Amino acid sequence: MDFAGVPSPHMNWESSNLPDAWRKFRQHAELMFAGLLKKRGEDENCSYLLLWIGEKGRDIFNTWTLTTEEAKVLQTYYDKYEAYVMPKTNIIFARYKFHERIQGATETFEQFVTELRLLVKDCAYADSEEMVRDRIVFGIHSPRVREKLLSVGSELTLDKAMDIARSHEIAQAQLKTFANSPHDQVVHAVNTRKESHKRTVKALHWSSNDVAERDKTCGYCGNQAHSASNKCPARGKQCAKCGKRNHFAKVCRSAYKRNVHAVGKEALCDEEDTQSEFFVDAVLKKSCDTEQAFADIQLGN
């Protein structure tokens, strides 16, 4: 029977955890009695409770011996059914379960602390709030929150511990919102494109250097550069263009030669050597024991 669209309480006697099933049933029933059935008499509410408790619950009721007055009091039913579903508590085992409880990686803090509050009820501690506070510190998933809790020291209360943990959880959710914002995604995309462009330019630079190195030729024979001068085929050969030795005509530079006044007051080997040779912008002065001197130069870039 539903009231104004609100479902009626239902006791699950097939549950593997009868104490928890009874707790949920009783809470639902008390909400109905305090709300929609508030104007009904308590004896009438007892009838509603027997209706909602189901066939199994009524069979249990029939085993009781109640006076007429007891049968009209809801607390009588609460006490009797609770005594039936609640086994004798093993305090040692209950404390073991409490101290083994830690927060899961995906579990919210509210779920964690609610479970701790339920577990501590069976532990018979003199100060259950203090034990829940300690268990939060020891069992919380985030090392950063644990550090904050420990930094408070002996002034840490259960309320303070819960406030710190909740604030951290809210802050983490807000940071995720910022990280998923369109602005951050655009900035990330721009930065990614910049890095890609840098890598491309760098690759092209390497490629051009490789080509330049590959295309570098010997200034004496015109072939690819040699690692040692004695391997050059032009060594000892006479140039057909200028008549000088140690180079071929195809690389002869005599066409670019022009005479200028000698710079400096150094004594040279002979009259012909009193002038310097200029190849483009490089001053190449002849030495006394070689016929020619060459230099590789770079113009601009």
CB neighbours (10 Å) of residue 193?
A: 10
- Average confidence (pLDDT) over 83-88: 78
The pLDDT value recorded for residue 97 is: 92
**Sign of the CA dihedral with 72 first, then 78, 84, and 88 last:** negative
The pLDDT value recorded for residue 186 is: 58
**CATH of range 91-179; options 2.60.120, 3.30.70, 1.10.1200, 1.10.10:** 1.10.1200
Task: Give the separation between CA 35 and CA 188, rounded to whole angstroms.
Answer: 54
Q: With 80 as the cut, is the pLDDT of residue 295 above it?
A: no
Q: With 50 as the cut, is the pLDDT of residue 195 above it?
A: yes
The pLDDT value recorded for residue 252 is: 84
Pairing of strands 282-284, 276-279: antiparallel
What are the tens digits of pLDDT across the range 24-77?
A: 999 999 988 888 777 788 888 899 899 999 999 999 999 998 888 888 889 999
Highest mean pLDDT among 64-68, 160-164, 260-264, 276-280: 160-164
Residue given tokens 């609610």 in the structure block: 114
Q: With 60 as the cut, is the pLDDT of residue 290 above it?
A: no
Task: Give the separation between CA 171 and CA 245, rounded to whole angstroms.
Answer: 82
The pLDDT value recorded for residue 131 is: 94
Residue spans of the domains in the chain: they are 18-85, 91-179, 185-215, 218-254, 257-293
Of the listed ranges 65-74, 126-135, 170-179, 218-227, the one predicted with least confidence: 218-227
Strand partners, 217: 224
What are the tens digits of pLDDT across the range 87-140?
A: 766 788 889 999 999 999 889 999 999 999 989 988 888 899 999 999 999 999
Share of the chain above pLDDT 90, in %: 28
Strand partners, 238: 245
Q: Buried b / exposed e across 152-163, counting CB within 10 Å, b at 16+?
A: eeeebebeebbe
The H or E element that residue 138 is part of is: helix 128-139
